[in-house]
Amino acid sequence: MAIELANVFSLALIGWLVSMSTRCNRWFKKTAVKMRTQAGRIELICGPMFAGKTTALIRILGESAENGHRVLAVKPSSDTRYGEDQIVTHDGKRIPAVRVDCTDELLTSGESAEVIGIDEVHFFDVELAGVCEKLAGLGVRVICAGVDLDHHGQPFDVIDRLETIADEVVRLTATCSICGERATHTKRLVSGESRIVVGGVGAYEPRCADCFDRTADASGS
Ligand SMILES: [Zn+2]
């Protein structure tokens, strides 16, 4: 009799433990989804070329990875400078990256990540902003880095849109290559019809607003 009671008690205890384990799993899953939803946000790092935008992006992604988050670095496929599957700064810092052609591709690639860094966002069309909103709605922390003004000093539409929806905007400056003051503009030194001409040192220079205006007519920019 005592042995039978012990068996019944053991079975009941096992049943209770299994039930609690299932409940705990459900609770953890719900909490994880909730926490991820709360963490979704859009951050924009913008400014002229050579202002350290990509360096800042790589630093944030590195810190997030060290903190155990699933991190994804993304770059436009048209940006073939330095390395095709890497994001690389002008001074050689680099991280592995996925190249995407269009914003739909970005949405598919980014759904499983917790933190996404998108470099050279001005290469994308304005629809990128909507994709960033969707990803943030899924709980993803989206960090965008890109040039805010083109070689005519006109804002890129996608940056304008991102600035209005971003939770945080960081505007960096470079050093004017003419006078050494704070540079907010980018001077293009090579010719080209397209608004986007892929290039780095030698193709572009950072300029303050005064030096940018002074040299605009002479170069035909
Ligand atoms: Zn200047």
* DSSP conformation letters of 71-93: EEEEEETT--SS-TTEEE-TTS-
The answer to the question of residue 184 being in a domain is: no
Residue 180 CB neighbour total at 10 angstroms: 10
Total of domains in the chain: 1
148 CA → ligand 1 middle, Å: 18
Q: Is residue 11 part of a domain?
A: no
Mean pLDDT of 126-138: 94
Q: Quote the pLDDT of residue 1.
A: 54
Which residue do the tokens 């990875």 mark? Answer: 65
For residue 206, report the distance from its CA to the centre of ligand 1, in Å. 9
Q: CA dihedral in degrees (156, 86, 187, 101; nearest 10)?
A: -40
Reported as a pLDDT band with limits 50, 70 and 90, residue 121 is very high
Of these residues, 63, 120, 168, 181, which one is catalytic? 120
Domain hosting 148: range is 38-173
pLDDT, average across residues 1-9: 58
Among 53-57, 82-86, 210-214, the range of highest mean pLDDT? 53-57
Q: What is the pLDDT of residues 8-47, one digit of tens each?
A: 656 665 666 656 655 645 554 444 444 444 479 999 999 9
Q: Would you say residue 178 has pLDDT above 70?
A: yes
Structure tokens that stand for 209 in this block: 């607003």
Ligand 1 centroid–CA 47 distance in Å is 15
Res 150 pLDDT > 70? yes
Percent residues over pLDDT 70 in the chain: 72
- 120 a catalytic residue: yes
Query: What distance in Å separates the CA atoms of residue 184 and residue 196, rounded to the nearest whole number?
Result: 18
CA 87 / ligand 1 centre spacing (Å): 29
Whether 127 is in a domain gets the answer yes
2: left (phi over 0), alpha (psi -120 to 50) or beta: alpha
* CATH number of the domain enclosing 94: 3.40.50.300
Stated pTM of the model: 0.76
